[in-house]
Amino acid sequence: MSRIARGGRYSLDAFRHQALGEVGSTNTECLARARQGDPGNLWVTATRQTAGRGRRGRSWASEPGNLYASLLLIDPAPPERLGSLPLAVALAVHGALRSVLPPGAEALEIKWPNDVLIGRKKSCGILLEGEGLAQGRRALVAGIGINIRFRPEDGPYGVTSLQEQGSDISAEELFSHLYREMAEVLVLWDEGRAVAAITERWRSVACGIGEPIRVNLPDRSIDGRFAGIDDRGLLLLDTQHGTMPIAAGDVFFL
Ligand code: BTN
């Protein structure tokens, strides 16, 4: 039986989609709807964002031609089971890109925790944001920007686009793949219970396991060897002082 059979919490028909033109940020739109009582499982897409947000307070340049999509989830799992959600979202994006890349495209991999790379260049950005709501509910938004025609510069990383990789897919068509892949991954994720299944799938497409890396933490950088991820999804860094589990940081291959 299909994992996304009708009627489940994350069956294909359990999601709604609102396609917008120009907005500030699709993440902001989702959070506003959550405050107004939206029950969740809502996708918001836009053709252009005027105030797109990236990680660490950066902006996300959002010209027409790329995909800008956010998924609103309400109480997707108890807080202690949310740790693997960023990995699950990256797997959904990875699956969508795998479906649309032509055979000659460069390697499609995930850099910890959730950068999807093509030929080691960043092809998308993922920003998860949460907010407490009335009556103890919690909104979680997974915002996804995928470079189709336009390559926003992103600091020290190399950047690519689907067009550069030989794909002329439209944002609408790419979104239909993302919609399906996300539903499948959320069923597999099982409200955060199936961390082992998510981490196993993540390892199979991981970029750079065994290689020397630098991890930038808020207060310092640490060099070591990327030993993989543990069963909670934490990065394991082999250093001369032993193996360090790391929950958040920016990874650079050396
Ligand atoms: C990153 O810095 O890598 C994350 C970028 C996330 C961008 C997406 S585009 C859709 C959604 N809306 C936003 O304002 N940001 C996310």
Confidence of residue 155 (pLDDT cuts 50, 70, 90): low
Confidence at residue 8, expressed as pLDDT on a 0 to 100 scale = 86
Supply the mean pLDDT for the chain.
Answer: 94
Mean pLDDT of 137-161: 90
Q: Which atom of ligand 1 is nearest to the CA of 27?
A: 12
Q: Are residues 71 and 184 in the same domain?
A: yes
Residue 127 beta carbon below 6 angstroms from any ligand 1 atom? yes
More confident residue, 100 or 1: 100
Confidence at residue 1, expressed as pLDDT on a 0 to 100 scale = 42
Q: Are residues 169 and 191 in the same domain?
A: yes
Q: Are residues 101 and 158 in the same domain?
A: yes
The CA 239 to ligand 1 mean position distance, Å, reads 32
The CA 150 to ligand 1 mean position distance, Å, reads 14
**Are the CB atoms for 223 and 212 separated by under 8 Å?**
yes
pLDDT(173) > 50: yes
Residue 127 belongs to domain spanning: 12-204
Q: What percent of the chain has pLDDT above 70? A: 96
CA distance 79 to 251: 25
Residue 5 lies in a domain: no
What would the pLDDT profile of 239-248 be if each residue is shown by its tens digit? 999 999 999 9
pLDDT(178) > 70: yes
Mean pLDDT of 35-64: 96
Place of tokens 């959002």: 62
Burial bucket for residue 55 (CB in 10 Å: 0-12, 13-18, 19+): middle
Confidence at residue 83, expressed as pLDDT on a 0 to 100 scale = 92
Residue nearest to atom 7 of ligand 1 (CA): 145
Residue nearest to atom 9 of ligand 1 (CA): 145
Confidence at residue 143, expressed as pLDDT on a 0 to 100 scale = 98
Residue 152 beta carbon below 6 angstroms from any ligand 1 atom? no
CA distance 135 to 5: 31
Which CATH number covers residue 238?
2.30.30.100
Per the structure, the count of domains in the chain is: 2
Confidence at residue 169, expressed as pLDDT on a 0 to 100 scale = 96
Residue nearest to atom 2 of ligand 1 (CA): 54
Q: Are residues 244 and 123 in the same domain?
A: no
- Reading the block at residue 179, the tokens are 């919609």
Q: Are residues 45 and 79 in the same domain?
A: yes
Nearest to 115 by CA among 147, 148, 90, 96: 90
**Are the CB atoms for 106 and 162 separated by under 8 Å?**
no
Residue 226 beta carbon below 6 angstroms from any ligand 1 atom? no
Which CATH number covers residue 90?
3.30.930.10
Residue 52 beta carbon below 6 angstroms from any ligand 1 atom? yes
Total-model pTM: 0.95
Q: Largest alpha-carbon pair distance within the chain? A: 52
**Are the CB atoms for 105 and 166 separated by under 8 Å?**
yes
Residue 91 beta carbon below 6 angstroms from any ligand 1 atom? no
Q: Which atom of ligand 1 is nearest to the CA of 69?
A: 10
Q: Cα torsion for 82, 84, 90, 95, to the nearest 10°?
A: -110
CA distance 34 to 192: 21
Nearest to 9 by CA among 180, 153, 190, 212: 190
In whole angstroms, how far apart are CA 74 and each of 22, 102, 112?
Answer: 25, 35, 25
Residue 86 beta carbon below 6 angstroms from any ligand 1 atom? no
Residue 160 beta carbon below 6 angstroms from any ligand 1 atom? no
CA distance 248 to 39: 30
Range list of β-strands (E), 39-137 = 42-49, 67-74, 108-111, 115-118, 121-122, 124-132
Question: Which of 22, 27, 121, 153 is the pocket-test mutation for ligand 1 (most atoms within 8 Å of CB)?
Answer: 27
Mean pLDDT of 151-159: 79
What would the pLDDT profile of 187-221 be if each residue is shown by its tens digit? 999 999 999 999 999 999 999 999 999 999 989 99
Confidence at residue 5, expressed as pLDDT on a 0 to 100 scale = 57
Residue 198 beta carbon below 6 angstroms from any ligand 1 atom? no
